[in-house]
Amino acid sequence: MSAQSAVSMGAAAGIYRELAWTRMKRGRLLWVCASLLALPVVGTALLVIFGHWGRTLFDEVAEIYFRFLLPFVPALLASPIVSEELDQKTFTFVFARPAPRSALVLGKLAAVVGPTLGMAVTSVALTWALAMIRFPQDYAETAGHLVRAEIATVVGVFAYAGIATLFGSWFVRHPFVAVLGYLLLVEAGLGSAPIVLNLLAMSWHLRNLAQLALPTGSLTLDVPALVSAAVPLVLGSVGIGLACMSVADAEYHGKD
């Protein structure tokens, strides 16, 4: 019975993923996000031309990723994936036969996270490659730093997509506005504060994981990298789980 459920869950999620990916490719939002992630690469190239280079340049540009792009891009793509289904009550008609409703969340989330990860990881790698191009020996010296930054990028995309999906299940009418409020108040506000409250922000943990400069203050704690990796992963997973519960609960409400 459990094996049959697992197969049906996987098959249903795969169908949702394919449908969502086809729709994303035909729309403009994916290409807008790709353009946003290309901006740091172009900016880094220009800065190198004008005499900036090395790890200092990479870290300065990486701040743009972890403060703005990594929170914003997944939120832009993931916030409507559940809200549009709940708002229009279309999720019950996608399959001719009953399917696990959490498959809708997992499948559509996979369609968002996969391309976003590819774009973000590539963008960070290109930025690093350009920043180190003036002195080739810097590639070997900063390779470990790049690995940390890429790990933080992967964790960040997953976590912010999960949180955006949750807010989309809570605020059906204006999901992105709700996510944006969270990003401004918690991630941008607390994440940049030189107090212990910054530990509540995933952006702080991701910058810590990526070995970037952090706000200094007497109450700021020294947090291990593994903890900073675990916090966003747990929060993102909780967000996805609660979003799945919202869709499952909506099934029983039917049409109002």
Other Cβ atoms closer than 10 A to 53: 17
Q: What sign has the CA pseudo-torsion 84, 89, 92, 96?
A: negative
Q: In b/e form, how buried is each residue of 186-206, taking b as 16+ CB within 10 angstroms?
A: bbbebbebeeebbbebbbbbb
What pTM does this model have? 0.88
Among 213, 90, 209, 101, smallest CA distance to 158 is for 209
> Which residues, in sequence order, are CB contacts of 180 under 8 Å at separation 6+?
75
Report d(CA 235, CA 63) in Å as an integer: 21
Instruction: Give me the pLDDT at residue 82, please.
Output: 79
Q: Provide CB contacts within 8 A for 77, sequence distance 6+.
A: 24, 29, 30, 33, 112, 116, 161, 164
Contact 229, 202 (CB under 8 A): no
Q: In angstroms, rounded to a whole number, what is the distance separating the alpha carbons of residues 235 and 101?
A: 21
Are 168 and 81 in contact by the 8 Å Cβ rule? The answer is yes
Region of 211 (left: φ > 0; alpha: ψ -120 to 50; beta: rest) is left
**Angular region, 81: left φ>0, alpha ψ -120 to 50, beta rest:** alpha
Residue located via tokens 């190198």: 48
CA quadruple 175, 170, 107, 116: dihedral sign: positive
SS3 of 67, please? helix
CB distance 119 to 34 below 8 Å: yes
* Alpha carbons 182 and 177: distance in angstroms, whole number: 9
Q: Quote the pLDDT of residue 100.
A: 75
Q: Please, what is the angle between helix 29-49 and helix 54-64, to 10°? A: 150
Residue pLDDT tens, the chain, 256 long: 444 544 578 888 888 899 889 988 888 999 999 999 999 999 999 999 999 999 999 999 999 999 999 999 999 999 988 777 666 655 555 544 566 778 888 999 999 999 999 999 999 999 999 999 999 899 999 999 999 999 999 999 999 999 999 998 888 888 889 999 999 988 988 877 777 778 889 999 999 999 998 876 545 568 899 999 999 999 999 999 999 888 777 654 444 3
